[in-house]
Structure 1
Amino acid sequence: MIPESAEEETAAPRENGRPTSVTALAAAPLLDRQDVASSLSSLPVPDVVAAMGSSLRGLSPAQAAERQALHGPNELPGVSHVHVWRQLVTQFTDLFAVVLLVASAITFLAYLLGQPRDPATLQLAMAILGVVLLNAGIGFAQEYSAERTAESLQAMVPHTCRVLRDGERREQPARDLVPGDVVILEAGDAVPADCRLVEAQEAAVNNAALTGESDPVARVAAAGPPGPPLESRNCVFMGTDLVAGTGKAVVFATGTNTEFGRIFRLAADAPRQRTPLQLQVAAMARRVAGVALATGAILFAVRLPSGQPFVDTFVFSLGVMVALVPEGLPATLSVSLAIGVRRMARHHALVKQLLAVEALGSTSVVCTDKTGTLTQAEMTVVRLWADEVSHAVTGVGYAPAGEVTDAGPVRELLRAAALCTNARLVPPTGRDPWRVLGDTTEGALLVAASKAGLDPAEEEACTPRVAEYPFDSARKLMSTVHRDNDGTCIAYVKGAPLEVLARCDAMDRGGTRTPLTDTARTQVTSAADGMAGQGLRVLAVARRPVAGPHPPLDDVESELTLLGLAGMYDPPRPEVRDAVDACRRAGIRIVMVTGDHPLTAEAVARRVGIVRGPTPAVVTGTQLDDLDDSALDTLLAGSAELLLCRVSPEHKMRVVTAFQRRGEVVAVTGDGANDAPALKHADIGVAMGASGTDVAREAALMVLLDDSFASITTAVGLGRSVYRNIRKFLIYLFSHNIAELVPILAATFAGFPLVPITAVQILAIDLGSDVLPALALGAEPTEPDVMDSPPRPRRERLFSTAVMGRVLFLGGIQAFGVCTVFFWHIHASGIPYADFTRDTPVYREAITMVQAGIVVSQFFNALAVRTDRQSVFRAGLLSNPWLIGAGCFGIALMAAISYAPPLQAVFNTAPLTLADWAVLAGFGVLLLAAEEARKWVLRHRSSSSKGEAR
């Protein structure tokens, strides 16, 4: 007798001779979840409900309330959002921001302590503070986003479900489910918790969200052997869907105790990796800040003994420091990355974090899922075999568009296959394409029948089904019995070729039943093996007349007449092969990481070009478990073509970590919840936008809106272009820092008492004249050869030797120009150094010449850095109109600073003559000519070395 309540002390069922405690199973803790599932799987139905302290009538409301208090709601914990004020505060923890904040505070203190107080010092303090606030505002606006991975996992749990309470069927919130509840499931339902089936009629589930396998898996209520939870044939799990049949199930795990909860914890615990650019910018900030502070301190120590006032000396040193700190870099970097984000969005790649743009460009390994990423997740019949003849089937997907070559001989084969199915084709509605309700394999058979001119619905109406023998993994067969128009009954059987063939004693030849000889059996086996060798899933179809509408199963599945074979596969996306080829040219390694069968994985990998050699390394999750970290590293290093199959979320994360340990920049693609931990742990997680789960989309840094693998290749090219452009504007920004610093150093060692350029002027250059051209450089179009070179090493520095050499070269020319115009102006006046004050007209003209000289030379510098070796005249001086416009804006702003009285008062400047502008333009042309000469030398050396090589 099955107990009606948990309080009844019944004899507990026994597992392997050991009693299983009712209380232990009904209130199983998290760590025992797998043991509970394994124990329940091996119990018969009456013992299952007894072990959970329940009955087939379900729990009583009182029992449910008691267990609700014990287990909590059936939901995943909500994500703990970072408060907006905390996100804003983090913008001020950047090292550049910290240095400038300290400088602003000290400058303001110097203003308060100065006697008399100098308004210029206050202006400097406020200007530095304004720079920090501007950078923080831009960074906050660009990066404001909250991670909602946990919320998306919660969203996949159905909001309501059908449950039995005291035998009464109720619809209630899924969050109220408790262990021991009996839920009712129908085709199309999302499974609300981890459950053990106690009734099942033709039930099948899609476990793709948990395992990555797209094929529906049959589920039964009968007891089975103990084993891993996901391999239990009588268990269903939260986050999966019932795609066929009906059933009742007893809940044994809820919330975070479920398999889905395990993935939630993996995703929550997985650290978000810092991108290569984050690491390099942080390192650069430390070096620049250190150099700036050290240089300012040294100059302070040099000038103070010369008799200069303490406050003036300190403000001078701050000016040096400000000259070295690239104040506009954080804002320029953020906005330039945002430009890359918008470009990628136009190519159907949505990037959720700015720095992920550059990280994608440095990708060296792509760990890609199979189903839904490389393939269309739609089974398609591509070949039929009947009467020793093979027939091709055209068209892909579930749309009945295509044809069967010479369909006449295979019409009966397809008619029988269509009748022996439970799936249904759904025509397109609105934006939804053709789709299948039920098993996708059966849906593919229906589509093939339609392509042969059959109407499956009409055939079913003319030959109604009177009995069914569902698919069973032991038999590997499904059989249905139909009544024909004359009242006779016919059984149709489909299943694994060897199983069907073993039950056949004849085959159909042109509509005639002929004995199945040994030679014929060999031909059928050879045909099936040939299809399987092409990576096709093969089904055999047979029939036989039976006596009456409900014959015994042994009669139905014996003495069959073989009608033929159907070969089908999940077709790759058509654009994938070209995308894989592009990745190969770019030196990017592609590793398939899938939960599917090794043979299926290898077949797909060969179709899309991931595998081209005869013996790829195919490793299963079980084999990975046997490898320690050293052996795994050896495997990853030694196998150029690697397929990882039957893997779990933990396996994926371990592989990603191993690649990162080897210095690789790893991108991971996926669409299921099982992919979420690896997506989050990777350097760049790439989720499918249309077919992917919310979990995968929220865990990833990039979402492919069109689900096209080709978009990854495009995004990699754009990411590489972003990195090149970042280097261009870094050269542009840092080269003029030399032009700001060298005059200050020259004036110090020459004994000149004032600075050739003030800190406020430097800020005006850095933010007013330099930011827009830098952004325009960041918007340079992608160069044609961007995907023809290997990925840069993970540890490659932004400031390589070549970059630093170019910065010194261009900055040195600018420094020479501005030092020349400054000291020429000072010496031409004939005024002794000691008589100069900040209000001396000649001094004001000289510092105006320095500021304008830097602005004008930067205009030509921007043209020079657009290319590394190619002449800018060949690339086209006007091919980036935004750059020309930005440079003209900077010069116009400089003219306003020189001529507008209000700005003259702020910057202590004076009006320049036309001759002054002509001299400055001449130095700008000199810079461009010198850079063109440098590029010519590099091109000449390159062509000479190539000639010698030939």
Structure 2
Amino acid sequence: MGSGPHALMPGDGGRGPVAVPGADGPAVQALPTAEVFVALGSSPRGLASGTARTRRERFGPNELPHARRRGAWRRLLAQFTDLFAVVLLIASAITFLAYGLEHPHDVGTLQLALAILGVVVLNAVIGFGQEYSAERTAESLRAMVPHTSRVLRDGERLEVPARDLVPGDVVALEAGDAVSADCRLVETHEVTVNNAALTGESDPVGRSGEPVAAGPVLQARNCVFMGTDVVAGSAKAVVFATGAATEFGRIFRLAAAAPRQRTPLQLQVASMARRVAGAALATGAVLFAVRLPTGQGLVSSFVFALGVMVALVPEGLPATLSVSLAIGVRRMARRHALIKQLLAVETLGSTNVVCTDKTGTLTRAEMTVAQVWAGGVAHIVSGVGYAPVGAVSDPEAVLAVLRAAALCCNARLVPPSGREGWRVLGDTTEGALLVAAAKAGLDVEAEEAVAPRVAEYPFDSVRKLMSTVNSDPEGGGYRAFVKGAPQELLARCHTADWRGERLPLTDELRAAVIAANDELASRGLRVLGVAWRPVTDRRPAQHDVESELSLLGLVGMLDPPRPEVSEAVEACGRAGIRIVMVTGDHPLTAEAVARRVGIVRRPAPTVITGAGLDALDAPALDKLLTESGELLLCRVSPEHKMRVVTALQGRGDVVAVTGDGANDAPALKHADIGVAMGVSGTDVAREAAVMVLLDDSFASIATAVRLGRSVYQNIRKFLIYLFSHNIAELVPILAATFAGFPLVPISAVQILAIDLGSDVLPALALGAEPPEPDVMDRPPRSRRERLFSGAVVGRILFLGGIQALGVCAVFFWHIHASGIPYTDFTKDTPAYREAITMVQAGIVVSQFFNALAVRTEQQSVFRIGLLSNPWLLAAGCVSLGVMAAISYLPALQAVFNTAPLDPSDWAVLAGFGVLLLGAEETRKGWVRRRVARNPKGSTR
């Protein structure tokens, strides 16, 4: 056989040929329907389970190829290309050179060179480990949102993981489904698909099951392809290509090889690294040039300048930053918010508008029929959820309505199995109708067997109706059953079945129906109208089916709000986040739910329908979005939703959009944060979104915003923590230079010990800091705000300045107390060793108190509790323990040239630390008072 794109070759298990890539065999699109099953080794009943397993082993999983990753050694070596790492590597190399040129060799220079190199290696190992961990986490998080397909196996309809699809599988497709493999259609019901992922053609295109002429398979109207989605209708199709053999697999390999774009946060950090590295090199060079003419040796001057450079470089920043972001993503995953892109973590902190749908996000997504209106009387239906447990107040009066509604459904009730209770495969509204029919005593499967369906006209957003044609065993002909929006249905009805009689639909009766619809909708119920008519043809025209109907009644369904949503809505309000409900439901239903959850509190919110949006030009829409505080958009189409999102972004808003259907995908992609439903959402919506709610609850959005703000705040906290002690390391060196002291107050080896031995663990603990209590009481962060804002730089200078003054004081106090002239000091002078030990210990102790101080921006640390972050306290104790070891252990004293400190020395240093914490608490108190006087002013 050949090797072209869609040839057929002998299959397995005696079931005939199976499609694999090939060129010389017959094109699958050109085969009649009956021959498709034969050619693909399948049947209308689907594959046998054994055959499916055999083909799974033969063809492998139905997965797209993963992007080729760099090998472990290449990824490890890449860690050494970070700008901070390059600067330190150069410093280490020069230090090794200096050691080689010294006569006699100074072991301290060798120790410094090795210490700098060790810092680079340690950072690389941490960075490599975090990158590997992040990859593993991403893989496990992707697995939390499985993709499934509905297939026929052994004649039974099953849901299987999409990765288990094999050539020959018969799949069922419905509106909103993503196509998981390349398939040949064999049965269609008004199917349209969106092929934009493959062809760039944005308009949906119709599909048919009829054979077409051989040619490019992408142009075949009877084929659907992996990566596309079903916009409308339903169909059955047979898989002919899976995984890498699909058309999308070919394109995906090209896309996967493209480099990933860096996020704004990464760009900010890279820019900061360039500036800090440049400043460190320039400062070191200047001080080297200043000391050299004073008679200092070349090597000693270089070591001095090197200490300045090392003091300015935050060696632990790269590892700390990546770990902090990973902690934030994992926290969100534990709170049911799956973040697919790191960019979303940043954007969440500045989201100020959430366009939310209603069903499933604000509500439980468990539609339950609460009332059936028939013959002018409302009949109560008890019970909630999908379990067919409950009763109808007068079942005989509503049998005709519920029977017609049930026969006009594509959903299926699934009995409890394992840990899962009753659930619905398909549309939840249709599931509620099936449950109500069962409560009224109808056996839906028996009814379908007696009156099988012969034709279907699927629901679409224009007609807002769905129709089926079923055999009529009583009359010998056919009956059309229609359900949909009451307004649309009522316009097509000429009569009504009223208490067993067929009556003309007079203006008076029509008004009664409209009043009943409004009454049900005002209670927060979603209302469907149900009608029927006799037809003579097996497959009549859609217009004939949906005209001159006879109204049977109305069905009111309730999707109760989730109990946790009200609190989340209130939290968003305090956080300055505006919530706009965007729904396809009736305005009265939307307003009722909005009031229940707290989105609407005023007597008269602004309610605009899709038709109203169509009447607004761009300036009028902008005015509406600006002036309308409480806004409900009802009966809207995907185009309307997209237009609103675009208009909000044009005003400078940062917009999050929720959605669960394929029609939400354009808005989800265009939004700053697209939020898809993980449970009830379609594959298309989940793929378009950057965040997936694993529990479908709006409360998880509020939680994710809270955690997103916390992640950004924590990054700023450990930046303040790291850079403030850099000032404390640099200022004593500069002070000694200008005071004429010949030695450095703190050596480069000591600085490295602080940066890596004492600072990294507390910085990591700050990255894991829980959200501040008032994080949702602040306005959203401006998207233009930078990491190093004026307030951040101010806090660095404030805290670093206090630390610098403290360590300078203890250093010169020890030097002057010794009574030794500056020129007589050497490295081995006991007073000098005690002084530099005090400087190192002073920085470590002050950083312990500094870590406590920077835990909050405005709140007092005593209010949130000193013990509320035990990891930070433990990290601080480890840092103090390392410092104590450097001070008291002879082996480390030899390395760092330190001396043992007296208890009184520690008491003095602790006093400086308490002073720093007290100064920062005083500053926060002043900020809180200023904010209280001017609530709309800056809080940062």
Specify the TM-score bucket, using the shorter chain as the normaliser: 0.7 to 0.9
**Alignment partner of 1:480: what SS?**
strand
Aligned partners of 1:675, 1:363: CA distance in 2, in Å?
Answer: 19
2:84 aligned partner: 96
Matched, 1:539 2:529: yes
Structure-1 residue corresponding to 2:314: 326
Cα separation, partners in 2 of 1:782 and 1:904, compared to 1, 3 Å? same
Write the deviation string for residues 887-908 of structure 1: whole angstroms up to 9, x where unpaired. Answer: 3332222121111011001101
Determine if contact 1:593/1:647 at 8 Å carries over to the other structure: no
SS, match of residue 321 in structure 1: helix
Taking structure 1 as reference, are residues 804 and 439 closer, same or farther at Cα in structure 2, changes over 3 Å only? Answer: closer
Deviation string for 1:397-421 (max 9, x for gaps)? 5333555455553244324433565
Equivalent-residue separation in structure 1 for 2:406 and 2:916 (angstroms): 77
Q: Distance in 2 between matches of 1:458 and 1:786?
A: 57
Task: Look up the match of 1:431.
Answer: 419
Aligned twin of 1:451:
439
Deviation at 1:786, TM superposition (A): 1.1
> Match for 1:323: what amino acid?
A
Q: Is 2:65–2:249's contact at 8 Å kept on the other side of the alignment?
A: no
After alignment, is 406-415 or 605-614 more displaced?
Answer: 605-614
CA distance in 2, matches of 1:477, 1:670: 26
- The one-letter code matched in structure 1 to 2:323 is V
Deviation, structure 1 residue 755: 0.3
Distance in 2, Cα, partners of 1:914 & 1:770: 23
Do the aligned partners of 1:243 and 1:439 also contact (CA within 8 Å) in 2?
no
Q: Of the candidates 110, 124, 142, which is equivalent to residue 122 of structure 1?
A: 110
Q: Deviations over 1:923-950 (max 9, x none)?
A: 333333433444454455566779xxxx
Q: 1:577 to 1:57 in 2, by over 3 A?
A: same
5 Å-filtered alignment, 1:881-920, equals 881-920=870-909
Of residues 596, 606, 613 in structure 2, which corresponds to 1:614? 606
Identity %: 65
- How far 1:83 moved relative to its partner? 0.9
Q: Does the CA-based 8 Å contact 1:195-1:252 persist in structure 2?
A: yes
2:302 to 314, 325, 341: 314
Sort the Cα spacing of 1:117 and 1:674 in 2 relative to 1 into closer, same or farther, 3 A: farther
Find the counterpart in structure 1 of residue 57 from structure 2: none
Q: Work out which of the residue numbers 93, 99, 107 in structure 2 matches 1:111.
A: 99
The C-alpha deviation readout for 1:801-850, integer Å capped at 9, x for no partner, is 33333322222222222212212222232333222221222221111111
Pairing partner for 1:828 from 802, 812, 817: 817
Judged with a 3 Å threshold, the aligned counterparts in structure 2 of structure 1 residues 59 and 865 are, in CA distance, closer, same or farther, namely closer
Q: Give the superposition deviation at 1:798.
A: 2.7
Letter in 2 for 1:815: A
How many residue pairs align between the two structures?
860
Partner of 2:913: 924
The 1:136/1:552 distance shift into structure 2, 3 A limit, reads: closer
Question: What's 1:348 paired with?
Answer: 336
Q: 2 CA distance for matches of 1:668 and 1:89? A: 40
Change (3 A) 1:50 1:930: closer
User: 1:465 is matched with which residue: 451, 456, 474?
Assistant: 451
Secondary structure at the residue paired with 2:877? helix
Checking the alignment, whether the CA contact within 8 Å between 1:209 and 1:693 is kept in structure 2 is no
* C-alpha contact 2:32 2:210 (8 A) present in aligned 1: no
Quote how far apart the aligned CAs of 1:775 are. Answer: 3.2
2:468 corresponds to? 478
SS in 2 for 1:80: coil
Once residues 849 and 504 of structure 2 are traced to their aligned partners in structure 1, the CA distance between those partners, rounded to angstroms, is 89
Match of residue 69, structure 2, among 82, 89, 114: 82
Matches within 5 A, 1:53-68: 54-55=31-32, 58=35
Distance 2:423 2:870 in 1: 49
Q: Which position in structure 2 is the counterpart of 1:760?
A: 749
Give the residue type in structure 2 aligned to 1:137: V
Look up the SS of the partner of 1:566 in the other structure.
strand
Letter paired with 1:361: G
Unaligned stretches of 5+ residues in structure 2: 1-5, 8-21, 42-59, 154-162, 199-204, 212-216, 936-940
Question: Which residue of 1 is the match for residue 290 of structure 2?
Answer: 302
Alpha carbons 1:821, 1:846 under 8 Å: kept: yes
SS in 2 for 1:92: helix
Displacement of 1:742 in angstroms is 1.2
Mapped to 2, the partners of 1:304 and 1:676 lie a distance apart of: 66
CA distance in 2, matches of 1:884, 1:185: 57
3-state SS of 1:445 partner: helix
Distance in 2 (CA, whole Å) between partners of 1:542 and 1:63 is 40
Per the alignment, do residues 661 and 747 of structure 1 end up closer, same or farther by CA in structure 2, a change over 3 Å counting?
farther
* 1:764-798 residue CA offsets vs partner (Å, 9 max, x unmatched): 11222222333333343322221121111112233
In the aligned structure 2, how far is the partner of 1:642 from the partner of 1:698?
Answer: 27
1:134 aligns with 2:94: no
CA distance in 2, matches of 1:408, 1:414: 10
Deviations, residues 826-881 of structure 1 (Å, cap 9, x unaligned): 22323332222212222211111111122222233333333444444444444444
Partner of 2:97: helix, strand, or coil?
helix
Q: Tell me, in whole angstroms, the C-alpha distance in 1 between the residues paired with 2:372 and 2:254.
A: 44
Distance 1:210 1:888, change over 3 A: same
CA RMSD of aligned residues (A): 5.8
* 764-773 or 720-729, which deviates more: 720-729
Query: 2:11 maps to what in 1?
Result: none
Equivalent runs, 1:283-682 vs 2, <5 Å:
283-351=271-339, 357-366=345-354, 380-393=368-381, 397-401=385-389, 403-404=391-392, 407=395, 409-419=397-407, 423-437=411-425, 441-457=429-445, 464-465=450-451, 468=454, 470-471=456-457, 477-483=467-473, 493-495=481-483, 507-512=496-501, 517-524=506-513, 527=516, 536=526, 538-542=528-532, 562-568=551-557, 575-576=564-565, 578-590=567-579, 613-616=605-608, 646-647=637-638, 665=654, 667=656, 669=658
1:737–1:434 Cα change, 3 Å: same
Q: CA deviation at 1:254?
A: 12
Given candidates 727, 735, 743, the residue that maps to 1:746 is 735
Q: Which moved more, 1:519-528 or 1:630-639?
A: 630-639
Q: Match of 1:708?
A: 697
Q: Residues 100, 241 of structure 1: CA spacing in aligned structure 2 closer, same or farther, 3 A cutoff? A: same
User: What is the SS of the residue equivalent to 1:117?
Assistant: coil
TM-score by length of 1: 0.74
Equivalent residues of 2:494, 2:505 under 8 A apart: yes
Letter in 2 for 1:614: T
Amino acid at match of 1:906: V
Cα 1:186/1:564, change in 2 over 3 Å:
same
TM superposition shift of 1:424:
3.5
Contact 2:190 2:232 in 1 (8 A): yes
Q: Distance in 2 between matches of 1:713 and 1:352?
A: 17
Distance 1:661 1:103 in 2: 49
Question: Is 1:423–1:439's contact at 8 Å kept on the other side of the alignment?
Answer: yes
Aligned-partner SS, 2:373 = strand
Is contact 1:187–1:243 with CA below 8 Å preserved after alignment? no
Aligned to 1:42: none
The normalised TM-score by structure 2 is 0.74
1:504 and 1:429 map into 2 onto residues whose CA distance is 42
- Tell me, yes or no, if the aligned pair for 1:864 and 1:872 is still in contact at 8 Å: yes
CA offset digits 1:569-590 (Å, max 9, x no partner): 8776564454344334322345
Change over 3 Å in CA distance of 1:620–1:684 after alignment to 2: same
The answer on whether the counterparts of 2:402 and 2:433 sit within 8 Å (CA) in structure 1 is yes
**Distance change in 2, residues 1:128/1:249 (3 Å):** closer
Taking the aligned partners of 1:570 and 1:127, their CA distance within structure 2 comes to 64
The one-letter amino acid paired with 1:426 is V
How much has 1:323 moved relative to structure 2?
0.8
- Give, as a single letter, the amino acid of the residue that structure 1 aligns with 2:820: I
Letter of the 1:777 partner, please give it. Answer: L
Q: Which runs of 5+ in 1 are unaligned?
A: 1-5, 8-26, 29-48, 65-72, 163-171, 178-182, 212-216, 224-228
Cα 1:415–1:749 shift into 2, 3 Å: same
